[in-house]
Amino acid sequence: MAVFRYRGLVAATGKNVSGFRDADNAKVLRAALKREGVMLTSAEEDRRGKGGASQSSGGLFAFFRRVGPGDVSMMTRQLATLVTAGIPLVEAMSALTEQVEKPELQRVLTQVRDRLNEGQSLAKALEPHPKVFPNLYVNMVAAGEASGTLEQVLERLADFMENQAKLRSKVSAALAYPILMVIIGSVLITVMMVAVVPKVTAIFASLERALPWYTALLIFLSNLVSSNYTLGFVLGVATTALARRALTKPALRDGESASNSMWISAAAVSSLVAVLSAFIVESLLAYGIAAAVGVVVGLLVARLQSYIATPDGLIWKDTQILRLPIFGPLFRMLAVARFARTLATLLSSGVPLLKAMDIVKNVLDNAKLVQVVVAATSSIREGESIAAPLKRSGDFPPMVTHMIAVGEKSGQLEQMLENVARAYDVQVETRVQAMTSLLEPLIIVVLGGAVGFIAFSILMPLIQMNDFVQ
Protein backbone atom coordinates (compact mmCIF):
# COMPACT_ATOMS: atom_id res chain seq x y z
CA MET A 1 0.00 0.00 0.00
CA ALA A 2 1.38 3.39 -1.06
CA VAL A 3 1.18 6.73 0.71
CA PHE A 4 -0.31 9.60 -1.34
CA ARG A 5 -0.15 13.31 -0.76
CA TYR A 6 -3.47 14.61 -2.00
CA ARG A 7 -5.35 17.84 -2.57
CA GLY A 8 -9.08 18.16 -2.95
CA LEU A 9 -12.29 20.13 -2.45
CA VAL A 10 -15.00 19.46 0.12
CA ALA A 11 -18.10 19.01 -2.02
CA ALA A 12 -20.46 20.63 0.48
CA THR A 13 -18.46 23.81 1.16
CA GLY A 14 -15.89 24.08 -1.61
CA LYS A 15 -13.09 24.29 1.00
CA ASN A 16 -9.59 23.24 -0.09
CA VAL A 17 -8.16 20.28 1.83
CA SER A 18 -4.85 18.45 1.64
CA GLY A 19 -3.06 15.70 3.49
CA PHE A 20 -1.59 12.19 3.32
CA ARG A 21 -3.51 8.97 2.84
CA ASP A 22 -2.72 5.26 2.47
CA ALA A 23 -4.21 3.65 -0.64
CA ASP A 24 -3.40 0.88 -3.13
CA ASN A 25 -3.50 3.35 -6.03
CA ALA A 26 -4.86 6.75 -7.04
CA LYS A 27 -8.19 5.26 -8.14
CA VAL A 28 -8.81 3.68 -4.73
CA LEU A 29 -7.81 6.98 -3.09
CA ARG A 30 -10.30 8.92 -5.23
CA ALA A 31 -13.10 6.51 -4.29
CA ALA A 32 -12.27 6.66 -0.57
CA LEU A 33 -12.23 10.47 -0.56
CA LYS A 34 -15.44 10.61 -2.56
CA ARG A 35 -17.21 8.57 0.14
CA GLU A 36 -16.06 11.23 2.63
CA GLY A 37 -17.42 14.05 0.49
CA VAL A 38 -14.07 15.19 -0.90
CA MET A 39 -13.45 15.64 -4.63
CA LEU A 40 -9.85 14.74 -5.44
CA THR A 41 -7.99 17.34 -7.54
CA SER A 42 -4.44 16.01 -7.38
CA ALA A 43 -2.62 13.03 -5.90
CA GLU A 44 1.10 12.41 -5.74
CA GLU A 45 2.71 9.29 -4.36
CA ASP A 46 4.84 10.12 -1.34
CA ARG A 47 8.03 8.08 -1.72
CA ARG A 48 8.93 8.00 1.93
CA GLY A 49 9.05 5.12 4.39
CA LYS A 50 6.36 4.14 6.85
CA GLY A 51 8.39 4.93 9.93
CA GLY A 52 7.64 8.59 10.04
CA ALA A 53 10.89 9.76 8.50
CA SER A 54 12.00 10.68 5.07
CA GLN A 55 14.03 8.49 2.80
CA SER A 56 16.54 11.28 2.69
CA SER A 57 16.72 11.58 6.41
CA GLY A 58 20.46 11.38 6.19
CA GLY A 59 20.51 14.50 4.02
CA LEU A 60 21.49 18.04 4.78
CA PHE A 61 18.03 19.31 5.80
CA ALA A 62 16.94 16.29 7.85
CA PHE A 63 17.29 18.26 11.09
CA PHE A 64 14.69 20.80 9.98
CA ARG A 65 12.25 18.15 8.74
CA ARG A 66 12.31 15.90 11.75
CA VAL A 67 9.49 15.79 14.28
CA GLY A 68 10.75 17.12 17.61
CA PRO A 69 9.50 16.52 21.17
CA GLY A 70 7.93 19.98 21.17
CA ASP A 71 5.77 19.09 18.14
CA VAL A 72 4.63 15.83 19.76
CA SER A 73 3.96 17.60 23.07
CA MET A 74 1.75 20.23 21.41
CA MET A 75 -0.08 17.56 19.41
CA THR A 76 -0.65 15.51 22.58
CA ARG A 77 -2.08 18.53 24.40
CA GLN A 78 -4.47 19.22 21.51
CA LEU A 79 -5.50 15.55 21.34
CA ALA A 80 -6.19 15.52 25.08
CA THR A 81 -8.38 18.63 24.71
CA LEU A 82 -10.36 17.09 21.84
CA VAL A 83 -10.86 13.74 23.60
CA THR A 84 -11.88 15.46 26.84
CA ALA A 85 -14.48 17.43 24.86
CA GLY A 86 -16.10 14.11 23.86
CA ILE A 87 -14.94 14.06 20.23
CA PRO A 88 -14.43 10.49 18.94
CA LEU A 89 -10.79 9.47 18.61
CA VAL A 90 -10.87 9.07 14.81
CA GLU A 91 -12.43 12.52 14.34
CA ALA A 92 -9.97 14.04 16.78
CA MET A 93 -7.07 12.52 14.85
CA SER A 94 -8.52 13.84 11.58
CA ALA A 95 -8.73 17.32 13.07
CA LEU A 96 -5.13 17.09 14.27
CA THR A 97 -3.97 15.92 10.84
CA GLU A 98 -5.28 19.16 9.35
CA GLN A 99 -4.04 21.25 12.29
CA VAL A 100 -0.34 20.30 12.50
CA GLU A 101 2.12 22.25 10.36
CA LYS A 102 5.02 19.82 9.89
CA PRO A 103 4.44 17.54 6.86
CA GLU A 104 6.24 14.62 8.55
CA LEU A 105 3.95 14.72 11.59
CA GLN A 106 0.94 15.20 9.36
CA ARG A 107 1.87 12.10 7.41
CA VAL A 108 2.38 10.04 10.56
CA LEU A 109 -0.96 11.15 12.01
CA THR A 110 -2.65 10.27 8.72
CA GLN A 111 -1.34 6.71 9.01
CA VAL A 112 -2.38 6.56 12.68
CA ARG A 113 -5.89 7.71 11.75
CA ASP A 114 -6.14 5.08 9.01
CA ARG A 115 -5.18 2.34 11.47
CA LEU A 116 -7.78 3.62 13.92
CA ASN A 117 -10.35 3.37 11.12
CA GLU A 118 -9.29 -0.25 10.65
CA GLY A 119 -10.21 -0.96 14.28
CA GLN A 120 -6.80 -0.85 15.96
CA SER A 121 -6.31 0.73 19.36
CA LEU A 122 -4.49 4.06 19.59
CA ALA A 123 -1.43 2.44 21.19
CA LYS A 124 -1.20 -0.17 18.42
CA ALA A 125 -1.63 2.57 15.79
CA LEU A 126 1.27 4.52 17.32
CA GLU A 127 3.68 1.56 17.57
CA PRO A 128 4.98 1.63 13.95
CA HIS A 129 6.41 5.13 14.54
CA PRO A 130 9.00 4.73 17.34
CA LYS A 131 10.97 7.81 16.24
CA VAL A 132 7.94 10.03 16.81
CA PHE A 133 6.18 8.14 19.61
CA PRO A 134 8.74 6.37 21.83
CA ASN A 135 8.13 3.28 23.91
CA LEU A 136 7.23 5.35 26.97
CA TYR A 137 4.52 7.23 25.03
CA VAL A 138 2.97 4.07 23.57
CA ASN A 139 2.90 2.24 26.90
CA MET A 140 1.27 5.14 28.71
CA VAL A 141 -1.39 5.41 26.01
CA ALA A 142 -1.99 1.65 26.25
CA ALA A 143 -2.38 1.93 30.04
CA GLY A 144 -4.79 4.84 29.61
CA GLU A 145 -6.91 2.93 27.11
CA ALA A 146 -6.98 -0.16 29.34
CA SER A 147 -8.04 1.84 32.42
CA GLY A 148 -10.45 4.15 30.60
CA THR A 149 -8.47 7.24 31.59
CA LEU A 150 -6.99 8.17 28.20
CA GLU A 151 -7.79 11.88 28.66
CA GLN A 152 -5.89 12.09 31.96
CA VAL A 153 -2.98 10.05 30.57
CA LEU A 154 -2.69 12.34 27.53
CA GLU A 155 -2.67 15.37 29.84
CA ARG A 156 0.06 13.77 31.96
CA LEU A 157 2.04 12.94 28.84
CA ALA A 158 1.82 16.52 27.61
CA ASP A 159 2.87 17.85 31.04
CA PHE A 160 5.73 15.36 31.21
CA MET A 161 7.06 16.20 27.74
CA GLU A 162 6.75 19.95 28.36
CA ASN A 163 8.66 19.67 31.66
CA GLN A 164 11.39 17.64 30.01
CA ALA A 165 11.66 20.11 27.13
CA LYS A 166 11.68 23.06 29.54
CA LEU A 167 14.51 21.59 31.62
CA ARG A 168 16.49 20.71 28.51
CA SER A 169 16.04 24.20 27.06
CA LYS A 170 17.13 25.85 30.33
CA VAL A 171 20.35 23.84 30.41
CA SER A 172 21.00 24.43 26.69
CA ALA A 173 20.29 28.15 26.91
CA ALA A 174 22.52 28.56 29.95
CA LEU A 175 25.46 26.80 28.28
CA ALA A 176 24.98 28.25 24.77
CA TYR A 177 26.62 31.62 25.48
CA PRO A 178 29.83 30.26 27.09
CA ILE A 179 30.22 27.66 24.32
CA LEU A 180 29.69 30.33 21.64
CA MET A 181 32.27 32.57 23.31
CA VAL A 182 34.84 29.74 23.37
CA ILE A 183 34.26 28.90 19.68
CA ILE A 184 34.45 32.51 18.46
CA GLY A 185 37.43 33.33 20.68
CA SER A 186 39.31 30.21 19.56
CA VAL A 187 38.71 31.00 15.88
CA LEU A 188 39.85 34.62 16.28
CA ILE A 189 43.00 33.66 18.17
CA THR A 190 43.83 30.97 15.58
CA VAL A 191 43.40 33.49 12.75
CA MET A 192 45.66 35.95 14.55
CA MET A 193 48.32 33.29 15.13
CA VAL A 194 48.24 32.10 11.51
CA ALA A 195 47.69 35.31 9.52
CA VAL A 196 48.60 38.31 11.69
CA VAL A 197 51.43 37.32 14.04
CA PRO A 198 53.83 35.98 11.34
CA LYS A 199 53.62 39.23 9.35
CA VAL A 200 54.18 41.46 12.37
CA THR A 201 56.97 39.38 13.89
CA ALA A 202 58.80 39.12 10.54
CA ILE A 203 60.41 42.50 11.26
CA PHE A 204 62.09 40.99 14.34
CA ALA A 205 64.13 38.64 12.14
CA SER A 206 66.39 41.50 11.01
CA LEU A 207 67.22 42.51 14.57
CA GLU A 208 70.48 41.32 15.98
CA ARG A 209 69.10 41.34 19.48
CA ALA A 210 67.77 38.58 21.65
CA LEU A 211 64.02 38.70 21.84
CA PRO A 212 62.19 38.53 25.18
CA TRP A 213 61.13 35.01 26.16
CA TYR A 214 57.46 35.79 25.73
CA THR A 215 57.99 37.05 22.17
CA ALA A 216 60.05 33.97 21.34
CA LEU A 217 57.28 31.80 22.78
CA LEU A 218 54.67 33.62 20.67
CA ILE A 219 56.72 33.15 17.49
CA PHE A 220 57.19 29.45 18.30
CA LEU A 221 53.45 28.92 18.85
CA SER A 222 52.59 30.85 15.69
CA ASN A 223 55.03 28.80 13.63
CA LEU A 224 53.66 25.60 15.15
CA VAL A 225 50.01 26.48 14.40
CA SER A 226 50.76 27.48 10.80
CA SER A 227 53.36 24.77 10.13
CA ASN A 228 53.21 21.91 7.64
CA TYR A 229 53.12 19.49 10.55
CA THR A 230 49.90 20.94 11.95
CA LEU A 231 48.21 21.16 8.53
CA GLY A 232 49.10 17.57 7.66
CA PHE A 233 48.05 16.28 11.07
CA VAL A 234 44.66 18.03 11.00
CA LEU A 235 43.86 16.93 7.45
CA GLY A 236 44.98 13.35 8.22
CA VAL A 237 42.70 13.11 11.26
CA ALA A 238 39.77 14.78 9.46
CA THR A 239 40.00 12.58 6.37
CA THR A 240 40.25 9.39 8.44
CA ALA A 241 37.29 10.37 10.65
CA LEU A 242 35.05 11.35 7.72
CA ALA A 243 35.96 8.28 5.67
CA ARG A 244 35.24 5.98 8.62
CA ARG A 245 31.91 7.72 9.24
CA ALA A 246 30.91 7.26 5.60
CA LEU A 247 31.96 3.61 5.46
CA THR A 248 30.39 2.52 8.75
CA LYS A 249 27.02 4.30 8.38
CA PRO A 250 24.33 1.59 8.02
CA ALA A 251 22.58 1.38 4.69
CA LEU A 252 19.11 0.81 6.11
CA ARG A 253 17.60 1.35 9.51
CA ASP A 254 13.99 1.24 10.70
CA GLY A 255 12.70 1.07 7.14
CA GLU A 256 14.23 4.37 6.12
CA SER A 257 17.12 5.03 3.80
CA ALA A 258 20.15 6.24 5.69
CA SER A 259 21.96 7.79 2.75
CA ASN A 260 25.58 8.50 3.54
CA SER A 261 26.20 10.65 0.47
CA MET A 262 26.84 13.69 2.67
CA TRP A 263 29.58 11.87 4.60
CA ILE A 264 31.10 10.44 1.41
CA SER A 265 31.16 13.94 -0.09
CA ALA A 266 32.77 15.38 3.02
CA ALA A 267 35.43 12.64 3.02
CA ALA A 268 36.09 13.21 -0.69
CA VAL A 269 36.45 16.98 -0.18
CA SER A 270 38.79 16.45 2.78
CA SER A 271 40.89 14.00 0.73
CA LEU A 272 41.03 16.45 -2.18
CA VAL A 273 42.13 19.28 0.10
CA ALA A 274 44.81 17.01 1.60
CA VAL A 275 46.15 16.12 -1.88
CA LEU A 276 46.10 19.72 -3.16
CA SER A 277 47.79 20.96 0.00
CA ALA A 278 50.74 18.69 -0.78
CA PHE A 279 51.56 20.90 -3.81
CA ILE A 280 51.68 24.18 -1.87
CA VAL A 281 53.42 23.23 1.38
CA GLU A 282 57.04 24.22 1.92
CA SER A 283 58.18 20.79 3.11
CA LEU A 284 56.45 17.81 1.55
CA LEU A 285 58.32 15.43 3.86
CA ALA A 286 57.13 17.21 7.02
CA TYR A 287 53.59 17.39 5.63
CA GLY A 288 53.57 13.68 4.74
CA ILE A 289 54.93 12.58 8.12
CA ALA A 290 52.35 14.71 9.96
CA ALA A 291 49.53 13.42 7.73
CA ALA A 292 50.59 9.83 8.43
CA VAL A 293 50.62 10.54 12.17
CA GLY A 294 47.17 12.11 11.78
CA VAL A 295 45.85 8.98 10.05
CA VAL A 296 47.26 6.80 12.83
CA VAL A 297 45.66 9.03 15.49
CA GLY A 298 42.39 8.94 13.56
CA LEU A 299 42.48 5.14 13.48
CA LEU A 300 43.19 5.02 17.21
CA VAL A 301 40.25 7.34 17.85
CA ALA A 302 38.11 5.12 15.61
CA ARG A 303 39.21 2.11 17.63
CA LEU A 304 38.24 3.88 20.83
CA GLN A 305 34.86 4.81 19.35
CA SER A 306 34.30 1.20 18.33
CA TYR A 307 35.00 0.08 21.88
CA ILE A 308 32.69 2.74 23.31
CA ALA A 309 29.96 1.48 20.96
CA THR A 310 30.07 -1.93 22.69
CA PRO A 311 28.00 -2.47 25.88
CA ASP A 312 31.10 -2.68 28.10
CA GLY A 313 32.68 0.37 26.47
CA LEU A 314 29.50 2.39 26.83
CA ILE A 315 29.29 1.56 30.53
CA TRP A 316 32.96 2.53 30.98
CA LYS A 317 32.46 5.85 29.18
CA ASP A 318 29.31 6.78 31.11
CA THR A 319 30.96 5.80 34.41
CA GLN A 320 33.81 8.21 33.65
CA ILE A 321 31.30 10.93 32.77
CA LEU A 322 29.63 10.57 36.17
CA ARG A 323 33.05 10.93 37.83
CA LEU A 324 33.87 14.26 36.17
CA PRO A 325 34.63 16.92 38.82
CA ILE A 326 32.12 19.61 37.80
CA PHE A 327 29.84 18.14 35.14
CA GLY A 328 29.52 14.62 36.62
CA PRO A 329 27.16 15.62 39.47
CA LEU A 330 25.14 17.72 37.01
CA PHE A 331 24.66 14.78 34.63
CA ARG A 332 23.72 12.57 37.58
CA MET A 333 21.09 15.10 38.75
CA LEU A 334 19.61 15.30 35.24
CA ALA A 335 19.40 11.50 35.01
CA VAL A 336 17.87 11.14 38.49
CA ALA A 337 15.29 13.85 37.77
CA ARG A 338 14.36 12.15 34.49
CA PHE A 339 14.17 8.75 36.22
CA ALA A 340 11.92 10.00 39.03
CA ARG A 341 9.57 12.02 36.82
CA THR A 342 9.22 9.28 34.20
CA LEU A 343 8.58 6.55 36.78
CA ALA A 344 6.05 8.74 38.60
CA THR A 345 4.23 9.49 35.35
CA LEU A 346 4.10 5.83 34.33
CA LEU A 347 2.89 4.60 37.73
CA SER A 348 0.26 7.37 37.92
CA SER A 349 -0.98 6.28 34.50
CA GLY A 350 -1.52 2.70 35.63
CA VAL A 351 1.56 1.06 34.08
CA PRO A 352 2.71 -1.92 36.23
CA LEU A 353 5.91 -1.35 38.20
CA LEU A 354 8.10 -3.92 36.42
CA LYS A 355 7.02 -2.71 33.00
CA ALA A 356 7.54 0.91 34.14
CA MET A 357 11.09 0.08 35.25
CA ASP A 358 11.79 -1.50 31.85
CA ILE A 359 10.61 1.69 30.16
CA VAL A 360 12.45 4.05 32.51
CA LYS A 361 15.85 2.60 31.66
CA ASN A 362 15.41 3.84 28.06
CA VAL A 363 15.20 7.51 29.07
CA LEU A 364 18.27 7.74 31.32
CA ASP A 365 20.89 8.35 28.59
CA ASN A 366 23.57 6.81 30.81
CA ALA A 367 24.58 3.16 30.43
CA LYS A 368 25.92 2.92 33.98
CA LEU A 369 22.61 4.04 35.50
CA VAL A 370 20.74 1.82 33.04
CA GLN A 371 22.76 -1.12 34.38
CA VAL A 372 21.71 -0.17 37.92
CA VAL A 373 18.02 0.05 36.93
CA VAL A 374 18.18 -3.34 35.15
CA ALA A 375 19.69 -4.94 38.26
CA ALA A 376 17.07 -3.22 40.44
CA THR A 377 14.30 -4.55 38.18
CA SER A 378 15.59 -8.10 38.66
CA SER A 379 15.68 -7.59 42.42
CA ILE A 380 12.13 -6.19 42.42
CA ARG A 381 10.96 -9.19 40.39
CA GLU A 382 12.37 -11.39 43.16
CA GLY A 383 10.36 -9.52 45.83
CA GLU A 384 12.66 -6.70 46.93
CA SER A 385 11.62 -3.09 47.29
CA ILE A 386 12.64 -0.39 44.78
CA ALA A 387 14.82 1.57 47.19
CA ALA A 388 17.04 -1.30 48.42
CA PRO A 389 18.82 -2.22 45.13
CA LEU A 390 19.14 1.44 44.15
CA LYS A 391 20.76 2.19 47.50
CA ARG A 392 23.14 -0.77 47.19
CA SER A 393 24.40 0.44 43.84
CA GLY A 394 25.73 3.69 45.31
CA ASP A 395 24.89 5.49 42.04
CA PHE A 396 21.65 7.03 43.29
CA PRO A 397 21.95 9.77 45.95
CA PRO A 398 20.92 8.74 49.50
CA MET A 399 18.17 11.36 49.58
CA VAL A 400 16.53 9.78 46.53
CA THR A 401 16.60 6.23 47.86
CA HIS A 402 15.36 7.42 51.27
CA MET A 403 12.40 9.28 49.77
CA ILE A 404 11.54 6.29 47.57
CA ALA A 405 11.64 4.02 50.62
CA VAL A 406 9.33 6.39 52.52
CA GLY A 407 6.98 6.52 49.52
CA GLU A 408 6.82 2.73 49.32
CA LYS A 409 6.04 2.39 53.02
CA SER A 410 3.40 5.13 53.01
CA GLY A 411 1.78 4.08 49.72
CA GLN A 412 2.61 7.46 48.14
CA LEU A 413 5.40 6.40 45.82
CA GLU A 414 4.21 8.47 42.85
CA GLN A 415 4.01 11.63 44.97
CA MET A 416 7.46 11.04 46.45
CA LEU A 417 8.93 10.51 42.99
CA GLU A 418 7.36 13.76 41.83
CA ASN A 419 8.91 15.51 44.84
CA VAL A 420 12.31 14.04 43.95
CA ALA A 421 11.96 15.19 40.35
CA ARG A 422 10.97 18.73 41.37
CA ALA A 423 13.81 18.95 43.90
CA TYR A 424 16.41 17.83 41.37
CA ASP A 425 15.01 20.07 38.64
CA VAL A 426 15.58 23.02 40.99
CA GLN A 427 19.07 21.77 41.88
CA VAL A 428 19.98 21.37 38.20
CA GLU A 429 18.76 24.86 37.39
CA THR A 430 20.60 26.35 40.38
CA ARG A 431 23.84 24.54 39.56
CA VAL A 432 23.72 25.47 35.89
CA GLN A 433 23.14 29.13 36.75
CA ALA A 434 26.01 29.09 39.25
CA MET A 435 28.28 27.31 36.77
CA THR A 436 27.54 29.71 33.93
CA SER A 437 27.94 32.68 36.28
CA LEU A 438 31.50 31.47 36.95
CA LEU A 439 32.23 30.26 33.42
CA GLU A 440 31.44 33.53 31.64
CA PRO A 441 33.95 35.74 33.50
CA LEU A 442 36.50 32.91 33.46
CA ILE A 443 36.20 32.56 29.69
CA ILE A 444 36.47 36.33 29.26
CA VAL A 445 39.62 36.39 31.42
CA VAL A 446 41.21 33.48 29.53
CA LEU A 447 40.42 34.84 26.05
CA GLY A 448 41.35 38.38 27.08
CA GLY A 449 44.59 37.08 28.56
CA ALA A 450 45.43 35.27 25.32
CA VAL A 451 44.79 38.38 23.21
CA GLY A 452 46.68 40.52 25.74
CA PHE A 453 49.64 38.12 25.62
CA ILE A 454 49.77 38.38 21.81
CA ALA A 455 49.57 42.17 21.88
CA PHE A 456 52.13 42.48 24.69
CA SER A 457 54.56 40.08 23.00
CA ILE A 458 54.43 42.11 19.78
CA LEU A 459 54.40 45.62 21.20
CA MET A 460 57.13 45.30 23.81
CA PRO A 461 59.96 44.51 21.33
CA LEU A 462 58.74 47.36 19.12
CA ILE A 463 58.86 49.78 22.05
CA GLN A 464 62.29 48.54 23.06
CA MET A 465 63.53 48.88 19.49
CA ASN A 466 62.22 52.45 19.34
CA ASP A 467 64.01 53.30 22.58
CA PHE A 468 67.21 51.76 21.21
CA VAL A 469 67.02 53.87 18.03
CA GLN A 470 66.48 57.06 20.03
Can you give the pLDDT of all 470 residues of the chain as single tens digits?
566 777 788 777 777 777 777 677 777 778 877 887 888 887 777 655 444 444 444 444 444 567 777 888 888 888 888 888 888 888 888 888 888 878 888 888 888 888 888 888 898 999 888 888 888 788 888 878 877 778 888 888 888 888 777 877 777 777 788 888 889 988 888 888 888 888 877 777 766 677 788 888 888 888 888 888 888 888 888 888 888 777 775 444 433 444 457 777 777 888 888 888 887 787 888 888 888 998 898 888 888 888 888 889 999 999 999 998 878 888 898 888 888 888 888 888 788 888 888 888 877 878 899 999 999 999 999 988 889 999 998 889 898 899 999 998 988 888 899 898 888 888 888 888 888 788 888 888 998 898 899 888 888 887 776 665 55
Handedness of CA 374, 377, 382, 384 (dihedral sign): positive
| Calpha distance 439→120 (Å, rounded) | 53
pLDDT in tens, 393-435: 888 989 889 999 999 898 888 889 989 888 888 888 888 888 8
User: How many beta carbons lie within 10 A of that of residue 219, not counting itself?
Assistant: 19
The HSE-up count of residue 342 (CA atoms within 13 Å, CB side) is 23
Chain centroid offset of residue 417 CA: 26
**9 — alpha (psi -120 to 50), left (phi > 0) or beta?**
beta
3-state secondary structure of 420: helix
Which of 254, 2, 256, 9 is closest to 111 using CA atoms? 2
Contact 100, 109 (CB under 8 A): yes
For the chain, counts of helices (H) and of strands (E)? 20, 5
Alpha-helical runs (H) found in 132-195? 135-147, 150-191
Handedness of CA 194, 197, 199, 204 (dihedral sign): negative
Radius of gyration of the chain (CA): 30
